[in-house]
Every structure is written in C-alpha cells, then in structure tokens.
Amino acid sequence: MTTRHPGAAPHLQAPAADDPREVGGYRVVARLGVGGMGRVYLAYTPGGRPVALKVVRPELAGDPEFRRRFAQEVTSAQRIHGLYTAQVVDSGADDPTPWLATTYVPGPSLQQAVHAHGPLPARTVLLLVAGIAEALQEIHRAGVVHRDLKPANVLIAADGPRVIDFGIARAAHAGALTGTGLRVGTPAFMAPEQALGRPAVPATDVFALGALAAYVVGGAPPFGEGPDSAALYRVVHEEADLGRVPAALQPLLWHCLAKDPERRPTTAQVIEAVRSHPEVGGELRFAGDWLPDRVTTEIRRHADLPVPRPLRPPPPSMRRTPSPPRVRRRPPGRPAPRLRNPRRRRTCSRAGADGRPRPTEGAAARRWWPPSPCCWGPRGRSRCSTPTSKATATTRRPPILPEPSQASPPPCPLPPRPCPPPGTPPSTPAPNSSRRTRATSSTSGRAGSCRGRPSLRGLLPPQRMTRAAD
C-alpha cells in the first residue's frame, strides 16, 4: 500500500517498501504510476534534474526475447529528438532489471485530464492533434512505429503535448506474451491491420491518433468500451461512433479512422488540415488560453515536486567494518625475525662474572659497562639482542680483554757455571771454539758479573740462533 507525498502533487505517491531507492544512479523520490510493462517513478539525476524512470516487471526481465527487443527499441528511441516527445536520456537494458529514463513532463496525461475534467474544447483538441502529428512525424522519420498511441501515453504540458513510450510496446508484448494471444497495443485504439496481426506501418499510428482525438473531444472511445475481444471485433468490422464529436472535427477524424491504411492521411497532411481549420485561425501556437483553466491549474500542481532528501546512512548492521590487518604466517621451523631499531643501543643481558644478571637499561646499565667479552662479535659489535634506552646510547667503547699473565722465562738447560774470582784475566778462546763459547766467555769475564745469559737452543731455528748469539 502506498501513501501520497505530503504537500506534493496528488499524482505522486510515496515509494513502497518493495520499491527501489536508487536505479542506475538516479535517486527515486516518488511513484508516478504502474503500467503494463512496469512501474514509473519520479527520480532525480546526480545534478538535480527530475526524470521519469520506468522499471520493467520481474517476469518480463526474465524473458530473453523481451530483453533483446527492449534493447533494440531503446536504441531506436534514443535517436528521436522531437519537440513534442519525451526524450530518452538513459537506459539500462543489460541490467538485471531493465529500466528506461526519460525527461519528466510536469503535467497530467490526456486520460487523467478527461477523467478529472471531462471532454476538452474543440480548439484545444485540434492543437493537440497537430502537436501529436508532429511527434509522430519525428518518430516515423527515425524508422520507429509507436504501436500503442493512446490517451495514457500523451502528456499535457504548458507548451504542448508530449508523446511517451514510443516503440516500447513492441518489446512489452514480445516473446512468450505474444504466444498467449495478446496483440501489441490497446484494443480500443488499435488499427484493423494491427488487430488482425499484420505488420504495423506509419498509417497505423494515424488511425490511433483519430481514435484518441475522438475520445478527448467526446469523452468516450469511438469503438465503445467493454471486453477486449468485443472492441477488436468492432475495430475490424464496424464503423466508429462519432456521435459525441463536434461536427467541425468529424471530417478530419473520418479520414484518420479509415479501414484501409492507404486511404488515411499522412502526418504532414494532418498538420496542414489543422492549420487551415476555422477553429485555429491559421496559427498553431500553444500560448495564452489554449487550455482550460482547470487543466492549467492541474499542470501547476504537477510542477510542485518534492525536494529530494539526503540519503540516510546505512544501519550499523550494514556498515562496512575495517578488515583486520593481514598477518603473514611464518612457515613452521623458521625462527621469528628480530625487530631492530637503529636509534637504540644493545647491551649485554647475560650474567656477570659473579653470576648475577646485569641490568639492560638506565644508569645501572652504565655502571655495569662493559659487558662480557663473549657478547662481542667481530669489529666490536655486540651479539646481544636486548635493547637499551636512549640514555645508554653513548659512544662505542672497545672491549677490554684480560691482560696476559706475567710468565717467567724458561729455565736454562745448561748447568750453572761458577764465577771467576775478581782480577782474573780473560782466557783466550780456542781456535775451534764455537761462537756461543766466546760469547759466554766475554760475558762472564766482565767485572762483577755473575749472571749467565740463557741459552736459546731449542727456542729458535738454527739460522736465527747464530744471529741471536752475535
């Protein structure tokens, strides 16, 4: 169940719970009506311009034949740019639910105007016929036949009529729907060749224009109302009932409602016949009082559109939560990488010489400097992994290694010799004595010397012992 928009035109209804809120980037504001092909909504472009958005019914969206013909008809309709047509601005033929967007016309349809205010004056009807004929002329020039021209597909604006849904009726009744016995168009405004299933031609739309004019000026369809089968029979075998049509308009409508398509006038001939009609006075202008006041008032009410409201934020359950950071899993058996900070120093956290653990930060760490030698690697770098605070980041100090022990020289392998008494002259060495003997004698012959020079035999190689002895 739908409700009307408060303070807006009576033709606008608030969207229902199953109505979309956005289609193809267009924000849906209200519902305009429901047709045989789908629902029509009032929507706004991102720039704020109103458009009429027609969304296809789900059962038609699942028909491949319909989708194929719908895409063809939309492509043809986009080439039509007549002043009395509602131009196609966008479409979504390939979307899951096809849709079509046309310019929004602020005004009622001819069916709504006749139903609410009764038949329209003859002059108003003649101007409408001229404007619709010009729209059909542009449609036919693009190679398209409307096939469903009826009062509901003609809107009344302040500057003339607007023809809508041109060419789309063929797609709506394509595929499986045509196989059930339905024909393209509305029976009360259908041409005889169209009712018999023959191909539609531009003269088919002229016949529908004559039936439409008879309805607007007389208030009833020319072939009566009732079941579709009875209306189709009268369209094919009986003449139109123009008893409610003014006598000044009957000759033009008789020509348009001829059974033979060859006897009907063209759209250009219809426009010329309206221009030469006494009711118009030779001038086709949609200005002044060409519409009754009650219809003009209704057009103003249709121009009062609701202001699009800003989109509400989605509920908390539908909001996207940030995904957790991606964690790279470490292969089994591989150690975890060490995190290094180049601005922080590392100190040793191993136990000291006394077995107590050493502090790693603060002033206590400075008192415990230096660390154990085992923690130092090549070039004086520490192997420890415990970082210290910035306060301990001082200049690098070289490691202090333990001093070597003061080892005594090895004992002399020769037995000690007694010192000569004082005043004893030195002895002359024998010719074949060794250099070591002469060196020992000269050393031992010094006055007051009782120390013997230790032998270097066994400690140095032979070639170096000679030099050491010298």
Catalytic positions, written as ranges? 148
Q: How many residues belong to the chain?
A: 470
The answer for 458, left when phi > 0, alpha when psi is -120 to 50, beta otherwise, is left
CA proximity to 195, closest of 261, 255, 137: 261
Tell me which H or E stretch contains 213: helix 202-218
Q: Is 157 helix (H, G, I), strand (E, B) or coil?
A: strand
Tell me which H or E stretch contains 249: none
Q: Give Cα 129 to chain centroid, integer Å.
A: 46
DSSP string over 270-308: HHHHHHTSTTTTS-----SSSS-HHHHHHHHHHT-PPPP
Question: In this structure, is the dihedral angle defined by the CA atoms of residues 315, 317, 318 and 321, taken in order, positive or negative?
Answer: positive
The residues, any chain, with a CB within 8 Å of residue 411's CB and separated by 6 or more, are 454
Give the Cα separation of 152 and 40 in Å (integer): 13
Prior bond to 324 cis, omega within 30?
Answer: no
Q: Extract the tokens encoding 80.
A: 């039509």
Give the Cα separation of 359 and 347 in Å (integer): 9
SS3 content of the chain, % helix, strand, coil (to 5): 35, 10, 55
Tokens 């060409």 identify what position?
A: 290
DSSP character for 92? -
Q: Extract the tokens encoding 408.
A: 């005594």
Q: Is 40 helix (H, G, I), strand (E, B) or coil?
A: strand
